[in-house]
Structure 1
Amino acid sequence: MTLSHFSSPLLGFSQAAGNSALITFAIYIFFVFVIAGMANRLQKGKSFVGEYFLGSRGLGLWAFALTYAATAASGGSFMGFPALIYTHGWSLAWWISGYMIVPLVALGLFAKRINQVGRIAGAITVPELLRRRFGNSYVGNAATLLVVFFMFFYLLAQFKAGAEIMATLLDGVPIYEAATGWIAQAKEGIPWVGQSSADYLLCLVIFAVAVIIYTAYGGFRAVVWTDVMQGLVMAVGVVILLVLTLSQVGGLKNATAKLAEMTPPEFGTALVEVSGDGSIADLRRGDWIATSDGGMARLNATVTDSKEPVEILLLTTPFEIESVKEQAIPGAVATISEREPYAHGAGDKGGYLRAPGPARTQSMGFLPVALAMSFFVFWNFSGAGQPSYMVRQMAFRDTRVLRRSIVMVSVFFSMIYFPLVIVFTSARVLLPGMEIYADRIMPEIAAHVTDLAGVPWLAGLLVAAPFAAVMSSVDSFLLLVASGVVRDVYQESINPDASEERMRKLSHAVTLIVGFLAVLVVLNPPPYLQTLIVFASGGLGASFLMPMVLALYWPRMTGAGAFFGMLTGAFTILSLYFVGYLERGAFGEYNLFGIHPIVWSIVATGVVIVSVSLAQRPPDKALVEKYFGK
């Protein structure tokens, strides 16, 4: 008997749960394609560009509110955010608190005015709105390039999240296991993809094909309708997951008491030996191994040689150590070579219950007070500056829909994010040592609590929630990038007289190509899912928030002010991320004086826009009167 029979790196799903998960997924995808087909039929007889990219500006309450909310609740919300909660604890409630008022700030600041200006300009995309507002093509071209650049990073993160979710969703399904075995052999020696796991590659392809095809086929209306369905799935899934998790952990009071006794794990290296019938070759990343000093270690890499140290994670809390001993590989012992305590919170009981939260590399902790305050600003103003949200604000039917949507989206966010903090702080108690698989904690806890509750068939529904979040973001981002290329580059600058049929074919082709390029890049995925999302979100907010606010409300603003303002925002945030890379040796932001780069970018952008605009002649009177009246 091999060692792998005793332990699995991830909990995954049981055979029954895996089959039910596959059925759930198949039904879900079926309805997605039905919706895309219905949306495609409705496009007939209408202007292709206006219908395909903006749904003819006719969204009602449920459609507008849920497409806005579902687009905001991306893979970061259900993969990256839970990973951070699990790793750093209750300080994430501070970190996300500003998100609850994003609808008030973003919709209240922009929605009515951007919808109004968009209708006056006849604009379908954000770059087109800026181009027509200032009567300058270079403003629109710069906006298009920035949208495509930062949105591509967003797409990478979402594709990775979708593949990670599916890898856990389908674990244990026979046909899936057979397919991954074949891919594992086929990928050996292939550049770029050889280091990625077979299950990830298979799931990435399945996810990408599904979302790219239905987005290309159905357009904006298909995206909106699927967002409504996905938004409902997310809300129901989170509520069920909250109830099951609290019941398994013994209630919030018991979870809090356990967290109060918990200390952060340590990373390090160890030499691993196996006695008896086992073999080093049977050990896999994620296996639990007893240490020579009586502790428990989890492999953070595959063991290839008993004479070479392997990366491990070491538990430091006594009750956690006891809880995983029965999962230890028989006959395997780890002799610790090196320990790496957390830079902040090492040995500190209760650190997961208070700010700034434990942190492996940050000596000041995960969330110092100044950074918490800047994140409050970050979520609201970067959210307001997202072109994917702006384009939805150009599509609602009337102000009555807008007013009700602000309340509805705020309630939706509160139903999602605060329960997630409770669920994934409790997950620390139920699933120790998941720091090495932090981005998979959402599907793993779904599998765990449904199995303990005796309802493994429910796992498919719970995992559909994060899957819906990812799909609702990917389709929106794909469409946004495609609209930038087709409408803002091809039709505006290359072929203004392009026929409807040509625009239709080009829109489908660009959507497919952009999706394909994103898949190629993420075949060898980056390790920092949430960091990538924060970077893309911050970059878009830095580039578009101040230019759009002043374009909508300040008649004196000029095209040059908008152009240099957008470039300043992008340059500022890119520079601070570059400094962060030099400081850490890894991708991440540099928080000057403890303040997030988005704050510095907003300030710099505002100063540049005002300075450049005032240094020039006032804009054309006719243009000002068109958008602001006499």
Structure 2
Amino acid sequence: MNSATLAPFATFAGYFAVMVVIGFWVFRRTVNLSDFILGGRRLNSWVAGLSANASDFSAWLLLGLPGAVYLSGIGEAWIPVGLAIGFAASWYLVASRLRIFTERATDARSGGDSNSLTLSSYLENRFSDRGGALRAVSAVLILVFYLFYVASGLVAAGGLFEQVFGVEANVAIVLGVSVIVLYTFLGGFLAVSFTDVIQAVMMWCALLAVPILAIVAISMDPDRGVEGGPGALLGGVSGLDGSWTVSDALGPVVVISGLAWGFGYLGQPHILARFMGIRSPRDVPAAGVISVAWAVTAMALAVVVALAGVAFFETPLDEDMAEYVFPQLIQALANPWVAGVLLAAILAAVMSTADSQLLVASSALTEDGYRAFLKRDASPISLVWIGRASVVVIALAAAWIALSGNNTIMELVGYAWAGFGSAFGPVLLVSLYWRRMTRAGALGGMIVGGVTAMLWQYLDERVLETGLYAMVPGVALSFVAIIVCNPLGRVTGQMGRDFDRVDEEFRRTEEVG
């Protein structure tokens, strides 16, 4: 084994070891389902903020986005612009109210404060849904979309190992899912959150270092002359084929579809879990500042990475290699040991999202399936072990999708992101601010939004041919369904009192803050 292979192998092994050690460290602190799903709601501002980033910005940030800009030019930057707006809006509009509501809403089945641990249980308690329809439908949607989301991370892990070690992608997928399952299985939410902090720092530092290394390398190349400085990156604004124009980037479909990605933040359960797990609503403003600052700078750096790739590689990468422009730059620019650390940051991006998603999907099976419909009085420790078993089952199903499909990372992420944003974004936002919203409105909005996101790509490719991202019709029709279906239900006295109590506590929190 030469140094080019040994160094990444050693850094990856060290990284894996740290993640597993954290899992074992947290293992003894996980004694009930609240600990396993939400860490007992003990996250401080720094951990909550950075964990939200790491769980959100998966391989899409380090592989998918740079690859899209590398191929198609700066016009793809509408997606990170939309995401930045949406991320800030989710912290400002959703985080505090959701944190309060998930504790204060009356339990729909037993009365008293609910302490809702999942998005599905929140919806059930918010709308006093004793029949469990909201919980069942939302749990099914969560499981379906997370299978594709987790699969996208495993595809990224497989591609990374294939590029670095020459290992077959299928072998790499099995290895990656094994490590992720191990520390998620052991430590649950706290293990995931603590590892997220490390992973977020690694990802941001790698995104900063690689463009700097590229600029230095280009500047020192005598064949490039005065054109080899930072200005060389501007040559990448048109993408690999140079066909991008300003009119392309300002086209209505491009702008609307790109910005629509931002609405997805209002409905991503793995990010909403960080809002629910934060220590206190008073910690939300600081966490939001930390989180949004990291997100905006990281996405900007990811775009710069793509431009650096166009400027650096005199022989362009093949189209099917575009999503790996970041690791290709790392291997070309850094010595093996530095490259190993930087490549581990890509692995961190993959794992930090996959573990969070596995945990939320596991929660859907455990809290919203087994406990809600099969054994309400299950013991705390038995629920923890059911949750751990669910992690394994979901990981195996996602690995099967990753092993059997040939979709790109961007396609898989885009499908899942639109699904969550359409199914849950409008419903969650309206539920937090409209006192008169009913169970019927929530159920209609969730089903219509989720089904639209599922079917839109098929219909658009074969019939409509608009090129519009599924989030746009999904969100629009979800809002329409909420309005149309809402009169079919009623607001109970308990629902009204819960809403008023939460609204009053939220206002007090704002005054104190």
Q: TM-score, normalised by structure 2?
A: 0.89
Distance 2:117 2:465 in 1: 36
Aligned counterpart in structure 1 of residue 52 of structure 2, from 68, 73, 89: 68
Asked if residue 532 in structure 1 is aligned to residue 412 in structure 2, the reply is: yes
1:102 aligns with 2:86: yes
Q: Report the alpha carbon displacement of residue 242 of structure 1 after superposing the two structures with TM.
A: 1.6
Q: CA deviation at 1:55?
A: 0.6
Instruction: Give the whole-Å Cα distance in 2 for the aligned partners of 1:468 and 1:626.
Output: 40
Is 1:56 aligned to 2:25, yes or no? no
Q: 1:144 corresponds to which residue?
A: 139
Q: Which residue of 1 aligns with 2:97?
A: 113
Q: Structure 1: how far apart are the matches of 2:119 and 2:474?
A: 20
Out of 131, 151, 164, which is 1:169 matched to?
Answer: 164
Q: CA deviation at 1:259?
A: 6.8
| Separation in 1, partners of 2:478, 2:86 | 21
Partner of 2:448: 568
Q: 1:18 to 1:569 in 2, by over 3 A?
A: same
How big is each residue's C-alpha offset from its partner over 1:244-270, in whole Å with a ceiling of 9 and x where there is no partner?
11112332212335777x872xxxxxx
Note if 1:212 corresponds to 2:181. yes
For residues 78-477 of structure 1, the aligned pairs below 5 Å read: 78-120=62-104, 121-136=114-129, 137-171=132-166, 199-249=168-218, 250-257=228-235, 264=241, 350-352=242-244, 354-355=245-246, 367=249, 369-431=251-313, 432-450=316-334, 455-477=335-357
**Match among 23, 29, 38 for residue 42 of structure 1:** 29
Tell me, yes or no, if the aligned pair for 2:266 and 2:428 is still in contact at 8 Å: no
Please tell me whether the aligned partners of residues 576 and 591 of structure 1 are also in contact (alpha carbons under 8 angstroms): no
CA contact (8 A) 2:358 2:394 kept: yes
- Residue 471 to residue 627, structure 1, CA distance change in 2 (3 Å): same
Q: Is the 8 A contact 1:388 1:476 kept in 2?
A: yes
Match of residue 627 from structure 1: 499
Unaligned stretches of 5+ in structure 1?
A: 1-13, 172-179, 181-198, 265-349, 357-364, 584-589
Q: For 1:438, give the aligned amino acid.
A: A
Mark the CA change 1:553 to 1:422 in structure 2 (over 3 Å): closer, same or farther.
same
Cα 1:606–1:491 shift into 2, 3 Å: same
Deviation at 1:400, TM superposition (A): 3.5
Partner-residue secondary structure (3-state), 1:351: coil
Query: Which of 384, 393, 403 is the aligned partner of 1:513?
Result: 393
Which amino acid counterpart does residue 541 of structure 1 have in structure 2?
Answer: G
Using the TM superposition, give the Cα deviation of residue 597 of structure 1 relative to its aligned residue in structure 2, in angstroms. 2.7
What is the rounded CA distance, in whole Å, between the counterparts of 1:28 and 1:447 in structure 2?
A: 18
Q: Which amino acid aligns with 2:55?
A: T
- 1:19 maps to 6
The answer to which of 476-485 and 133-142 deviates more is 133-142
- Consecutive aligned runs of 4 or more in structure 1 exceeding 3 Å deviation: 257-260
Equivalence for 1:600: 473
- Shift in CA distance, 522/163, structure 1 to aligned 2, threshold 3 Å: same
Query: Letter of the aligned partner of 2:291 in structure 1?
Result: V
**Counterparts in 2 of 1:257 and 1:570: CA distance versus 1, 3 Å:** closer
User: 1:427-486 CA deviation, whole Å, 9 max, x = no partner?
Assistant: 123331331322222211110111xxxx23211111112111110000000001000000
Instruction: State the partner residue of 1:610.
Output: 483
**Whole-Å separation in 1 of the counterparts to 2:229 and 2:15:** 32
Report SS of the residue matched to 1:523.
helix
Secondary structure at the aligned position of 1:43 is classed as coil
Question: Letter of the aligned partner of 1:86 in structure 2?
Answer: Y
Aligned mates of 1:217, 1:495 — CA distance in 2 = 23
Distance 1:470 1:67, change over 3 A: same
Q: 1:51 to 1:92 in 2, by over 3 A?
A: same
CA contact (8 A) 1:163 1:203 kept: yes
Moved more, 501-510 or 135-144: 501-510
CA contact (8 A) 2:266 2:429 kept: no
* One-letter identity of the residue aligned with 2:9: L
Residue 376 (structure 1) shift? 4.8
Report the equivalent of 1:337: none
Q: Secondary structure at the match of 2:404?
A: coil
Residue matched to 2:511: none
Contact kept in structure 2, 1:54 and 1:124, CA below 8 Å: yes
**Contact 1:569–1:605 (CA under 8 A) maintained in structure 2:** yes
Percent identity over paired residues: 24
* Shift in alpha-carbon separation, 1:562–1:80, aligned structure 2, 3 A: same
Structure 2, unmatched stretches of 5+, are 105-113, 219-227, 505-513
In 1, Cα distance between equivalents of 2:261 and 2:387: 31
Per-residue CA distance 1:105-162 (angstroms, 9 max, x = gap): 1111100100000011310000000011112110111110111111111011111111
Q: Counterpart amino acid of 2:192?
A: V
Structure 1 residues 499 and 622: alpha-carbon distance in aligned structure 2, compared to 1, 3 A threshold: same
* 1:69 and 1:409 in contact (8 A); partners too: yes
Shift of residue 623 of structure 1?
Answer: 2.5
Which residue of 1, 10, 15 maps to 1:28? 15
1:242 and 1:488 map into 2 onto residues whose CA distance is 45
The answer to whether the 8 A contact 2:148-2:401 is kept is no
Paired residues of 1:107 and 1:384 also in contact (CA < 8 A)? no
Query: Kindly tell me: are residues 554 and 234 of structure 1, through their superposed partners in 2, closer, same or farther at Cα, counting changes over 3 Å?
Result: same
Q: Is the contact between residue 45 and residue 284 of structure 2 (CA under 8 Å) also seen in structure 1? A: yes
Query: Following the alignment from structure 1 to structure 2, what is the Cα–Cα distance between the partners of residues 248 and 502?
Result: 56
More helix by share: 2
Q: Hey, which of these two has a bigger chunk of strand by percent?
A: 1
- State the one-letter code of the partner of 1:127: S
Q: Distance in 1 between matches of 2:324 and 2:217?
A: 19
Task: Give the drift of 1:355.
Answer: 3.8
Contact 2:78/2:259 (CA < 8 Å) preserved in 1? no
Q: Does 1:580 align with 2:460?
A: yes
Q: Which has the larger radius of gyration?
A: 1
- Cα 1:257–1:209, aligned 2, differ >3 Å: closer, same or farther? closer
Conserved in 1, the CA contact under 8 Å of 2:81 and 2:259? Answer: no
User: TM-score normalised to the size of structure 1?
Assistant: 0.73
C-alpha distance in 2, partners of 1:259/1:410? 25
Residues 160 and 525, structure 1, Cα contact 8 Å, conserved in 2: no
Deviation at residue 103 of structure 1 after TM alignment: 3.0
